[in-house]
Amino acid sequence: MKLATWNVNSIRARLPLVLDWLKQDAPDIALLQEIKCEESAFPLMEIQAAGYQALVRGQKSYNGVAILSRETPVPRRDVLPGMETDPQARYIEAEAGGYVVGSLYFPNGNPKDSEKFPYKLRWMKALRDHAAMLLQQEIPVVLGGDYNVIPGGIDAASPARWKDDALFSAEARAEFHALKNTGWYDALRLMRPHETHLYTFWDYLGGAWDRDDGIRIDHLMLSPEAAGRLQSCAVSRDWRGREKASDHAPVMALFSP
């Protein structure tokens, strides 16, 4: 089974690219973030014509997450437990292909001296609590998405440039590693523990793509049952170089049956 996560940075603006990706890379399950549209505006007919069913938690112009699956996904929840009053569309969870999958979009958290940073940390803590509950079920689970966290210096081309940013803050990295320490596995680092230049995001500004000045903030986090089935994981960075590309690249994992 092929499972991928991709922050598409507007599904409507990126629809031709997304359809090409679904046809060429052919994931069985695709976790999308920043779809930036309400459910009613999601291009469901085009996605279904490509061979996928979709579950969507949308929001006008901002945020938004979706799960695409060749099999009909069975919805579990469309809000993160503990964040029920949060109006922002950042989490959706379903059963598909014998897995529980969650598509998530962490808050950015910048600027750090605003209310956005404690909101980011509250959201991360809520995910860690929910992830602990999922581990107790002892089933294959993948929590994939844009975590907006650079886990370590190896995950940035220029770590010093991010030292004062919420994405590389000590608090955010501590929450990310606390999640790992409860029993979750970072799929890309599980397969490629020391490899450099495994970036998933390159800013549109400053020629970041041309200079490969990227960061790794998109992650597939696996329960032990899913990690035991992992065969490979890679960044499909070619899609970042396409015309009218998202500023993120997909991360694709292959699992045994």
What pLDDT does residue 1 have? 97
Q: Three-class SS of residue 9?
A: coil
What torsion, rounded to 10 degrees, do the Cα atoms 81, 85, 91, 92 define?
A: 80
Q: For tokens 């969870």, what's the residue? A: 93
For the stretch 127-164, pLDDT in tens is: 999 999 999 999 999 999 999 999 999 999 999 999 99
Q: Which two tokens stand for residue 94?
A: 């379903």
Percent above pLDDT 70 for the chain: 100
Q: 169 and 110 in contact (C-beta within 8 Å)?
A: no
pTM over 0.95: yes
Task: Write phi, then psi, for 144 (nearest 5 degrees).
Answer: -120, 150
Q: What's the CATH code, domain 2-255?
A: 3.60.10.10
What does the pLDDT look like over 74-84, one tens digit per residue?
Answer: 999 999 999 99
**Averaged pLDDT of the chain:** 97
> Is residue 93 over pLDDT 90?
yes
Helices within the chain (DSSP H only): 15-24, 44-49, 116-135, 170-181, 187-191, 224-227
Phi, psi of 32 (to 5 degrees): -110, 145
Burial of 226 (0-12, 13-18, 19+ CB in 10 A): buried
Q: How much of the chain, in percent, has pLDDT values that exceed 90? A: 100
pLDDT, tens digit, 9 for 90 and up, residues 208-220: 999 999 999 999 9
